[in-house]
Chains A and B, each alone.
Chain A
Amino acid sequence: MAMAMNPIQVLQNGAEEEKAETARLSSFVGAIAIGDLVKSTLGPRGMDKILYSPTGQYGNGEPSVQVTNDGATILRSCGVDNPAAKILCELSKVQDDEVGDGTTSVTVFASELLREAERLVELKIHPHTIIRGWKKAVAVAREALNESAVDNQADPEQFKEDLFNIARTTLSSKLLTQHKDFFAKICVDAILKIRDDPKSTLESIQIIKKLGASLESSFLDEGFLLDKTPGQNQPRRVENARVLLANTAMDTDKIKVFGSRVRTNDIKSLAEIEAAEKEKMKEKVEKICKYDMNVFINRQLIYNYPEQLFADNKVMAIEHADFEGIERLALVLGGEIVSTFDNAENVKIGKCDLIEEVMIGEDKLLRFSGVSQGQACSLVLRGATEQILDEAERAIHDVLCVLYSTIKETRTVYGGGCSEALMAQAVQVLVEESEGKEQHAIQSFANALRQLPTIMADNAGLDSADLIAKLRAEHAKGNKHAGLDLYNGCVASMDDLKVTESFKVKRQVLLSGHEGAEMIMRVDDILKSAPRQRAPDRCM
């Protein structure tokens, strides 16, 4: 009976369990910490973070420094150990994949909800009551958002204006804010190009970063740019190009059997085999040249010998187009990637009107214009440092994602804290109407919504308590366009300032923020599985 006295061990050695209050506390603490980490980057006057990696981003040992205010990038980079914090990081990642923007907002919103919930739990309100209240609140908020949404799809001019405004709003919180009109125009042009073509996706817009000059020298170019040059003595300009895309070894066709080798008795036969190998390469090139094409692009290297053979055949041959490059080319040129060259008839050859060399800064690039999928375009970013270019690329990516989702879901809402205040107002009405304990939860939802404009005002160095009170009053009076003008530090009509945001982004922030918070609320037990034992090293 000695066993009965020992504590019963249910879990494996090394596994941990946190229960009820402890579990909830650790969730709240983790989630709120994450929210606090990114909340200072929110809004047009948000701050940046340095991401410092002592081992370097690319694993080359050189310490690297990244400066960013993109929520998704920050959260992706900082390692988190807390399960609830992980959920919030996931949330921002999903937001990034789904709509591309609002990655900070969604995290901050979820963490603010949890901050409110923590207080309610302290008041002994059961988590399920809170969840029920939130459910009601989110339905009302969504309804309010739906109602406030404007759809200008019918009027192309107005719609373009909308897109432009959305791009400006998104850019205003980024590094590019000084040049937001300039970049907003570029992005809108790019999106409108691919808009009417069902085959085009965001993939068709290529972003190329080139060091040097300033951000204002960035431009949008027709067609597709490839950062490669043709081989020596090959044509530098091809009209009516027919492009064969390939992924094949152009050094030699090796027998891929381990340990295969040539065994000879004398140098002569060795030389003959070498000649035979060369002959084989020549045959391969001849086979390739039989295709109805005048440009050959290979993913792998093209060695000197085949390069010269191509030059003799007046074929432009481009080697070492990287994986992404060649996939994209296949997409925009409408060709397919081949690796064997026996049946010349069945292969789709990519086409474009003109391939020529263009100078960007110091470098020469190849431009494919008039591609069969006519909507492809390239956005060339210029900037003084790597960091600026990287951050600019992230910003442009966000804008393009938002615009792309806007052309699918054409409704727009007002930004600058207007939509949040509007939703909060609608929820506030519900508070007064509802009975029972849920009322607290609904109230907390409204508070969390109001936190977003509060934080934006704080970041801009304004008196948030004063501004938010004014904003609330305006909305209570029914002024549905009121929002924060963070540049002048006052409440103004967002309609006049043209601060518009994508409806889809806002809805996504509301829904996934709520979902994430609810998920964390439901947790009352955290189980950590035992770390897997490392197998003992045999070499020791």
Chain B
Amino acid sequence: MTAGNAAAPARAPVGKLGEGAFKDKEKPTHIRMSNIEAAKAVADAVRTSLGPKGMDKMIRDDKGNVTITNDGATILQRMKVLHPAARMLVELSKAQDIEAGDGTTTVVVVCGALLEAAKQLLSHSIHPTKISDAFQRAATEAIKVIESMKIEFDLSNKEAMMKACATSLSSKVINTHSVQMSELCSSAVLKVADPEKNSLDLKDIKIVAKVGGTLDDTELVDGLCLDNNAMGTTRRMEKAKVALIQFQLSPPKTDMENQVVINDYSQMDRVLKEERQYTLNLVKAIKKSGANVLLVQKSILRDAISDLAIHYLNKLKIMVIKDIERTDVPFLCKTLGCHPVASADHFTPESLANVDLVEEVAIGGESNCTKFTGIQNAGKTVSILIRASNENLLAEADRSIHDALCVLRCLVKQRALVAGGGAVESELALRLGQRAKEIGGVDGYCLQRYAEAMEVVPYTLAENAALNPIEVVTELRKRHNAGEFNAGINVRKAGVSNMHREDVLQPMLVSTSMINLATETVRSILKIDDIVNVVGRG
């Protein structure tokens, strides 16, 4: 064998692909397709819950508990999806939830449509990275289009806030109460928002959900509402002085293990007496400080408060509320303007909060809640008390109010609104389609598909509202082509109308983040060509 012969085969393209060395191999294509199919299946699952006439899903977990919701993020979270690519869609809706708090269903549906488009493009043997780049470009163009549609807004405009809230709530179970709820959420947000910093900490809004009553009874508590009820007999206190204690009112317990050895009967008596004395001394110390409402922090080491202590406190007409979580302490301090007291000899007048009225409110059922009203030097916080006739409705109302609050937070962060009801997506389909024709080439082709995929939102909205989707979508196209960029689907009137005039508005951030996140997810799914199973970690 000569040297020349040896070198020749060595230089042939590796991988035994022969002349087609630049072609994609079979396995990556297969994986990509299976990823796309799996992700699309997830998107299809939530499609029917999109929009104001969307349907709800009933989800039963392995313990038999039932959740009824049409919140995309919640549905996906509970679905226990296993396929890795499908899980990325779950993550996507979670991300939208974090970023914008609303539009969690829309983002998944749009992502599904984009994947369908990508699949078709792949079948035309366009390289995945080409599609990926074109989609990124499309997203950039899309954001520009959305920005050109925005309606300016400022925080003094409570009406606009309410409209945005109402749009978000319209798709939920509680849509019959949307006026009341949007009023409530807007007032809550206006109270805690910091207009200078563009920030809104939702932790400043405490939501207490209680079964019983109806949604009409849901209220905004100006002051503080606690889920815990008072112990003992004192249930109402005017001109209250509230103390938040972090020590325990129970028999002493050392940090080292302890044991009280009792040898005879008389000793037993003495031990009992001493215990009483000990508790009484603590209670007296509290009384001396002037406090008449006591909030007791939960303790994991021992009883936070013994029955004996409650008895004494009641005798001294001190109201007791126990089981305050440690994580709630900062919120309470901020709301009441009090300082927590960590030991009985640390009571100072400043550590107490003055409240006009502390009252336990009977709301039926076993558990009551306690309201604090007329707090002097109160912090910027509010409480919302949600009431509903059953657990499921209550949980859904809680989620819906959370969504509405998130929508408002978006507005505080970025003060712009756009028209809802599929108006944005229809406009995107039109304008991106026009742009696609200007660009041409592979990019233009991909952009065209991207634009078409956007129409899934109005299409699905119409479908869910039992309208003729083809008729509605074509009507929308016509209107948008004529320059009516706010035209969207009016579900109430079963037709197409100007969404701005119908007061169907949503924050711009919801739309922009939807485009960004959906595109990002599609791009990362396209870029994946293999699934590696991780073994043995922990």
Contacts and interface: CB of A to CB of B under 8 A. Distances in A.
A65 B259 CA distance: 51
A91 B14 CA distance: 22
Given A267-B274, A278-B343, 4 more contacts: A63-B87, A77-B537, A460-B129, A465-B19
A104 interface: no
A43 to B, nearest CB: 10
Contacts of A261: 256-259
A447 B11 contact: yes
B323 to A, nearest CB: 16
Interface stretch (A144-152, A251-259, A325-333, A513-521): A251-259
Contacts, number: 239
Contacts of B147: none
A178 interface: yes
| Top 7 A-B residue pairs of the complex, sorted by shortest distance between their CB atoms | A461-B127, A59-B538, A79-B535, A304-B246, A53-B534, A308-B342, A47-B529
A444 B10 CA distance: 7
Interface stretch (A115-123, A365-373, A473-481, A528-536): A115-123
B28 interface: yes
Interface of chain A, helix or strand or loop or mixed?
A: mixed
A210 to B, nearest CB: 11
B253 A274 contact: yes
Nearest to A67: B524
A304 to B, nearest CB: 4
Contacts of A398: none
A110 to B, nearest CB: 14
B255 interface: yes
Interface stretch (A220-228, A235-243, A412-420, A450-458): A450-458
Given A48-B524, A52-B534, A274-B254, A232 B339 contact: yes
Nearest to B533: A52
B258 A263 contact: yes
B22 A254 contact: no
Contact of B22 (A49, A66, A461): A461
A267 B258 CA distance: 11
A129 B340 CA distance: 80
A51 B524 CA distance: 13
A233 B270 CA distance: 41
Interface stretch (A22-30, A379-387, A400-408): A379-387
A500 B251 CA distance: 72
Interface stretch (A155-163, A181-189, A211-219): A211-219
Contacts of B201: 362
A53 B537 contact: yes
Given A265-B267, A304-B340, A440 B127 contact: no
Contact of B528 (A45, A48, A386, A465): A48
A254 B246 contact: no
Given A265-B267, A268-B274, A465 B252 contact: no
A65 B99 contact: no
Contacts of B258: 261-264, 270, 273
A288 interface: no
Contact of A359 (B197, B262, B271, B513): B197
A54 B261 CA distance: 53
Nearest to A440: B6
Interface of A: 36-37, 40, 45, 47-59, 63, 65-67, 69, 74, 77-79, 112, 115-116, 119-120, 123, 125, 175, 178, 211-214, 232-233, 251-252, 254-255, 260-268, 270-271, 273-274, 277-278, 303-305, 307-309, 311-312, 359, 362, 384-388, 431, 439-440, 443-444, 447, 451, 454, 457-465
A303 B1 CA distance: 82
Interface stretch (B61-69, B89-97, B375-383, B447-455): B89-97
27 contacts: A47-B528, A48-B528, A48-B529, A50-B530, A53-B533, A54-B533, A56-B538, A63-B84, A63-B87, A65-B87, A112-B14, A119-B9, A123-B1, A232-B339, A260-B256, A262-B258, A270-B251, A270-B253, A271-B252, A277-B254, A277-B256, A304-B246, A385-B92, A458-B21, A459-B129, A461-B130, A465-B21
Contact of A59 (B253, B277, B537): B537
A50 B84 contact: yes
B280 interface: no
Contacts of A120: 6, 10
B482 interface: no
Interface string B194-214: 000101011100000000000
B13 interface: yes
B255 A67 contact: no
B342 to A, nearest CB: 4
Contacts of B94: 385
Contacts of A312: 346
B260 A270 contact: yes
A88 to B, nearest CB: 15
Given A123-B1, A254-B255, A232 B274 contact: no
Contact of A267 (B251, B341, B534): B251
A55 B538 contact: yes
A454 B17 CA distance: 13
A267 to B, nearest CB: 4
Contacts of A270: 251-254, 258, 260
B10 A78 contact: no
A59 B127 CA distance: 37
B400 to A, nearest CB: 21
A386 B91 contact: yes
A122 B418 CA distance: 69
A255 B341 CA distance: 27
A63 B534 CA distance: 11
A268 B279 CA distance: 11
Contacts of A303: 342
Nearest to B129: A45
A263 B257 CA distance: 9
Nearest to A311: B339
Interface in B337-364: 339-343, 346
B264 to A, nearest CB: 10
B531 interface: yes
A385 B95 contact: yes
B261 A263 contact: yes
A56 B87 CA distance: 13
Contact of B95 (A267, A273, A384): A384
B99 A213 contact: yes
A305 B255 CA distance: 14
Contacts of A451: 14
A125 B1 CA distance: 11
B530 A115 contact: no
Interface string B434-478: 000000000000000000000000000000000000000000000
- The listed residue with most A CB atoms (<10 A of its CB), out of B253, B341, B538, is B538
Given A274-B252, A384-B517, A50 B271 contact: no
Contact of A65 (B3, B88, B251): B88
Contact of B532 (A78, A268, A305, A464): A78
B538 A359 contact: no
Contacts of B315: none
Contact of B346 (A50, A308, A458): A308
Contacts of A462: 22
A119 B10 contact: yes
Nearest to B96: A384
Nearest to A274: B252
B153 interface: no
B179 interface: no
A415 B129 CA distance: 20
Contacts of B84: 50, 52, 63, 65
Contacts of B277: 268
A266 B529 contact: no
B340 A52 contact: no
A175 B330 CA distance: 39
